[in-house]
């Protein structure tokens, strides 16, 4: 594909939305269709495979919104009424005896013949057990009609819905004990970089600890993926080919770091030999170099290796790709406009995602926006978006993306 | 405790912040101190038990922010320099030979004697292999100094931090392979209500499906709790006592529904007999009745049973309680001020949490805000807060709480 975008210091920069559109197009073409049927308790974080239609009216019958008394408005003459039955939630009432009322509790079915419920606070029980109503009564008051919330056949959740606690609770309220979901996306995570050492080991000269492995593996788990931890890529072409070739039944190889270097870039060589490799220079900061291609038909996304860059490019590009693979339509995080609490005097040629917080309603940013470690992100509540070619003064509107929107 | 707040239609209503303060005070007194040591990959969603201090400088040595050439500014006379070594990330350089430059890649240590890095785009390699630099060079350019992001002994994450992918990645970058975390909170979930039937079974007359069990169990799992599913409470006092008494080693009993009814309220009777029971009427909608007490010393929170009420009271009261039990300081969700996209002509005496979305930056609300099912919440992206005694016209500011902020 030809470069798209406008020239940056080091070549043509691709706008974030162009890169996202290309990734989503590829994901659309590779949609996962295999599915499995799971009990609700195991379906959390998974994606609904079929539209969920209601097989019930909810409520299934008119029920009481209050603890009180059910009666017929026409029977209310100002004289007290005797109580002919008591109806708890879960009980099936008999038809209301004319000229009487029924004691009724919240959620209980309203008996046939009654057309209103008066709350107990407005009812006075006399010594003889009869009940006096003093307020004006209106038909339908405090009654939730049958089907008020849902009627049989209505679309409740469309295919492609991510199932969280709310969606699972909603499915349960319709009596579903199991749901058909798309099978888990299988993602192999590998790190490249001779300088990387796993935590717990001693650092040699020139070495640093690998933070992206745990960042991405734990994040992918939250997203409901099956994670294949493919370790640190060996520094050798044959071993690289063997490692990649050993990743069977994988939907995506997600790598971090290294591909931009060129010399000693065995991942890049392996992809060029047995697949395809595009190196994108994105108009994003932190971020910029992104690899997209495949190895023997398996898609590969290579994120930049600086942790803050890995975070931002995973959140804004790889996460949407993984959601769309499962058929999720709405893959971009919620952005909320807030006033900036900082000045931005020099326009950049890349779109910046600053690690920030809200203070008194304004977006403030971490003092050190270096992409080298995750301190800024651990401090932050969200990403503050500053568009390319923009300057800002405090009070100007910026978009804020809460980290909770992309982490789950 | 005496009622606090102002009179509502049905008695004194307790403001949400008063209820929250009481719950947090109780949680503070019952802080969990038992801890366990976990590998990073298993620590997701858990709470850090001790302050995490850095044992490293990061970067551990001055390193290159670019692919390019390292040299000493004083050696640059306009004449080309020969390349005396090549330094990849992960390699330990030797001291720079005076009057030469070193080929260097991003992340590699800057050799002793070099004080700047010039990016390769501004360097011209001649036919004889020597490199000509044409732009002005400044000391420290493109060098990330040692300790720029972190120095030994700095506080990186305070005790009480919830560990997500970012915090785990940050700990990994410091070489931590394991962390001390607070043990899981053990929460028993039980539902009350004779009308409840589990999904998958047939509905009898007057019965509805239990949606709160899966809502709360899946939510608690996301929050890193150990969930004891205690089922539907039996409709019998002895059986209720036996069920409650059987919940051993539990930090909280979380029940939904029922306690407000009074008659046939076996949970309430059991608590009054062998513990304590406060019935709060909260100035919250959906919500209002909240039970707080204990059974044989085990704290009990009883949420209202209508699903939307369960959702809102869990999000705003029970979730903070559970986080605080583990020592988390910041337990309230991020609220962002946005303009209302609706009118609110009649002030209520309870604070409303409307299920809403943002459309063109404005909060819009689901047409049916009934608390009976979760459809409004599944449609919504967040809760729109309308304060008690407030009216609104479109454009007035309201607070928006993204659901992602409370669900994870």
* pLDDT tens-digit map of A37-50: 999 999 999 999 99
Is residue B1 in some structural domain? no
Chain B residues 265-304 with a CB less than 8 Å from chain A: none
Residues of A in contact with B107 (CB under 8 A): 193, 195, 208, 305
Q: Are residues A16 and A46 in the same domain?
A: no
Question: For A119-135, what is the mean pLDDT?
Answer: 94
For the domain that residue A49 is a member of, what is the CATH number? 3.90.105.10
Q: Are residues A43 and A175 in the same domain?
A: yes
Residue A58, pLDDT > 70, answer yes
Q: Are residues A113 and A190 in the same domain?
A: no
Is residue B223 in some structural domain? yes
Q: Are residues B197 and B73 in the same domain?
A: no
For the domain that residue A19 is a member of, what is the CATH number? 3.40.980.10
- B164-180 in b/e burial notation, b at 16+ Cβ within 10 A? bbbbbbbbbbbbbebbe
Is residue B371 in some structural domain? yes
Coil, helix or strand at residue A351: strand
Domain boundary among B263, B292, B325: B325
Q: Are residues B308 and B348 in the same domain?
A: no
Is residue B351 in some structural domain? yes
Residue A263, pLDDT > 60, answer no
Chain A residue with the nearest C-alpha to that of B157? A378
For the domain that residue A382 is a member of, what is the CATH number? 2.40.340.10
Whether residue B193 lies within 8 A of chain A, CB to CB, comes out as yes
- State residue A3's pLDDT score: 46
* pLDDT tens-digit map of B329-349: 999 999 999 999 999 999 999
- State residue A265's pLDDT score: 76
Q: Are residues A67 and A83 in the same domain?
A: yes
Residue A2, pLDDT > 50, answer no
Chain A residues 88-147 with a CB less than 8 Å from chain B: 88-93, 105-109, 119, 121, 144
Q: Strand A382-386 relative to strand A397-402: parallel, antiparallel, unpaired?
A: antiparallel
- State residue A1's pLDDT score: 40
- State residue B137's pLDDT score: 94
Chain B residue with the nearest C-alpha to that of A174? B209
Q: Are residues A351 and A286 in the same domain?
A: no
- State residue B9's pLDDT score: 53
Domain boundary among A279, A297, A325: A325
Is residue A330 in some structural domain? no
Is residue B331 in some structural domain? no
Q: Which of the four pLDDT bands, split at 50, 70 and 90, describes residue A134? A: confident
CA distances from B217 to A42, A168, B234, B290, B292 (A): 11, 10, 19, 19, 20
Residue A338, pLDDT > 70, answer yes
- State residue A11's pLDDT score: 66
Residue A25, pLDDT > 60, answer yes
DSSP assignment of B199-266 equals: TTSPP-TT-EE--HHHHHHHHHHHTTPEEEEEEEPPSSHHHHHHHHHT--S-SEEEEES-TTT-TT-H
Domain count of chain A?
A: 4
Question: What residues in chain B have per-residue pLDDT under 50?
Answer: 1-3, 261
The closest CB to that of B377, out of A166, A372, A377, belongs to A166
Is residue B39 in some structural domain? no
Q: Are residues A374 and A281 in the same domain?
A: no
Whether residue B360 lies within 8 A of chain A, CB to CB, comes out as no
For the domain that residue A102 is a member of, what is the CATH number? 2.170.190.11
Q: Which residues contact B100 (CB under 8 A, 6 or more apart)?
A: B71, B75, B81, B82, B83, B84
Q: Are residues A126 and A243 in the same domain?
A: no
Q: Are residues B53 and B70 in the same domain?
A: no
Residue A70: domain span: 63-144
Q: Are residues A195 and A321 in the same domain?
A: yes
Tokens of B109: 């240590």
CA distances from A94 to A131, A375, B196 (A): 20, 66, 20
DSSP assignment of B28-69 equals: HHT----EEEEEGGG-TT-BB-S-EE-SS-BSSS-EESSSEE
Q: Are residues A176 and A189 in the same domain?
A: no
DSSP assignment of B72-139 equals: -GGG-SSS-BEEEEEE-TT-PPPPPPTTEEEEE-TTPBPPTT--EEEEGGGEEE-TTS-EEE-S---T
Domain boundary among B273, B306, B325: B325
Chain B residues 215-244 with a CB less than 8 Å from chain A: 215-219, 221-222
Residues of B in contact with A200 (CB under 8 A): 175-178
DSSP state of B163: -
């Amino acid at each position: 594909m030809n470069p798209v975008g406008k020239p940056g210091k080091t070549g043509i920069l691709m706008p974030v939305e162009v890169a996202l559109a290309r990734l989503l197009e590829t994901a659309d073409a590779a949609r996962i269709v295999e599915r499995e049927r799971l009990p609700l308790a195991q379906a959390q974080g998974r994606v609904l495979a079929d539209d969920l239609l209601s097989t019930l009216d909810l409520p299934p019958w008119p029920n009481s919104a209050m603890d009180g008394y059910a009666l017929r408005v026409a029977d209310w003459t100002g004289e007290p009424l005797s109580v002919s039955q008591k109806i708890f939630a879960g009980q099936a009432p008999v038809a209301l005896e004319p000229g009487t009322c029924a004691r009724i509790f919240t959620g209980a079915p309203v008996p046939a013949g009654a057309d209103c419920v008066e709350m107990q606070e407005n009812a006075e029980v006399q010594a003889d057990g009869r009940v006096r109503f003093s307020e004006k009564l209106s038909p339908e008051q405090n009654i939730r009609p049958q089907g008020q919330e849902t009627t049989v056949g209505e679309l409740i959740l469309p295919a492609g819905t991510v199932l969280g606690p709310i969606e699972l609770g909603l499915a349960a309220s319709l009596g579903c004990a199991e749901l058909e979901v798309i099978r888990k996306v299988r993602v192999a995570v590998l790190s490249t970089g001779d300088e990387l050492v796993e935590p717990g080991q001693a650092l040699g000269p020139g070495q640093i600890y690998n933070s992206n492995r745990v960042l991405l593996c734990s994040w992918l788990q939250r997203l409901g993926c099956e994670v294949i931890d493919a370790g640190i890529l060996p520094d050798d072409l044959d071993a690289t080919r063997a490692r990649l070739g050993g990743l069977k039944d994988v939907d995506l190889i997600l790598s971090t770091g290294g591909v931009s270097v060129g010399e000693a870039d065995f991942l890049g060589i392996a992809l060029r030999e047995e697949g395809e490799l595009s190196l994108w220079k994105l108009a994003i900061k932190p971020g910029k170099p992104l690899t997209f291609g495949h190895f023997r038909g398996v898609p590969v996304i290579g994120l930049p290796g600086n942790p803050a860059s890995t975070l931002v490019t995973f959140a804004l590009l790889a996460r949407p790709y993984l959601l769309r693979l499962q058929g999720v339509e709405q893959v971009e995080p919620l952005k909320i406009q807030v006033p900036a609490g900082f000045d931005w005097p020099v326009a950049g040629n890349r779109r910046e995602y600053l690690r920030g917080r809200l203070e008194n309603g304004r977006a403030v940013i971490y003092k050190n926006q270096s992409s080298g470690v995750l301190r800024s992100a651990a401090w932050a509540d969200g990403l503050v978006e500053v568009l390319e070619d923009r300057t800002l003064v405090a009070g100007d509107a910026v978009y804020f993306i809460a980290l909770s929107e992309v982490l789950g």
